[in-house]
Homo-oligomer: A and B are copies of this chain.
């Protein structure tokens, strides 16, 4: 491994001078600078970030902890984060909590060991409060993405989940549906609670009892959506819903898989709507009616907030940004005749 000493020796200067050249500081004679740069090139010197980080107390690295990067929603967030981080000279370390507080805790710990300068977290649940509290206490900067946690005051970028769920439900109501079921993730997660609320509000506003709620234990997983839909199909005809609101894309896919299994047509026999778009799927076939959240913006904003803090905005009050979702009406709600999807 080539060190700054090696470069210094080759260029006939001290390590300090090399350091100054590397960091573009003034007070180095042009000739010296060029000699050093040549030596750096010759030897292929790459500064040791660990040593620098140790000394300066920062690593120019941030962490991103989400539940599952393979969910397109989080993928887009990651992409947004990455773009901003890169522009600002930060590297991004990734972690998947799989909606588990314990795995989340482990990851955060690893990241603290790696001395990330700050973290972006989509907390796995209310149980995340403990870790977040300890982060707070240790003065580690972090920003919450997509989900809040009761009692944790921190920068936050999330969607308006109540309004989104209200919109989805109201849209189904406007199409004449009366028995609308909700397939929801674990209420550990704030988005699930808020989406439940929006659903309830919309139904109560028109005097319907919101009792067709299925809350799956394993938050936001495809398999859970399948199970919930199967249950709903077992209901006697007069109780069976005519429409389903899935509170995220994974659940919706599971729901649709279960419906297909039982030869229930969408939207003819059952309308289905959900949160969060699946971008490529929609491009291929604009089928699923969803409320789209600006996921990439979640990422860029959150990263920006974090980096702002790292750059010294210590004591500004936490910022909370709530981005509005947008209803995208497509085929699966039955709002319009199903058109030939491809062509």
Contact = CB atoms under 8 A, between A and B. Distances in A.
Contacts of A69: 69, 75, 78-79, 82
A284 B50 contact: no
Nearest to A78: B69
Interface string A41-70: 000101111110110010111000000111
Interface stretch (A184-192, A211-219, A320-328, A335-343): A335-343
Given A93-B61, A343-B265, A280 B281 contact: yes
A50 B50 CA distance: 5
Given A61-B93, A222-B283, A260 B113 contact: no
Contacts of A332: 342
A283 B253 contact: yes
Given A78-B69, A253-B283, A50 B44 contact: no
Contacts of A4: none
Nearest to A264: B343
A283 B75 CA distance: 18
A301 interface: no
A60 B257 CA distance: 40
Given A281-B284, A284-B287, A114 B70 contact: no
A13 interface: no
A15 interface: no
A285 interface: yes
**Copy number of this protein in the oligomer?**
2
A70 B76 contact: yes
A314 interface: no
Contact of A342 (B50, B265, B278): B265
A85 to B, nearest CB: 9
A19 interface: no
A25 interface: no
Interface string A83-101: 1001000011111100000
Contact of A59 (B50, B70, B96): B50
Interface stretch (A104-112, A146-154, A201-209, A303-311): A104-112
Contacts of A222: 283
Given A49-B115, A82-B96, A281-B284, 4 more contacts: A1-B57, A50-B53, A50-B114, A266-B342
19 contacts: A44-B137, A48-B115, A50-B114, A51-B54, A61-B114, A70-B76, A70-B78, A72-B72, A83-B96, A86-B96, A91-B93, A91-B114, A256-B342, A259-B342, A280-B280, A281-B285, A285-B341, A287-B341, A287-B342
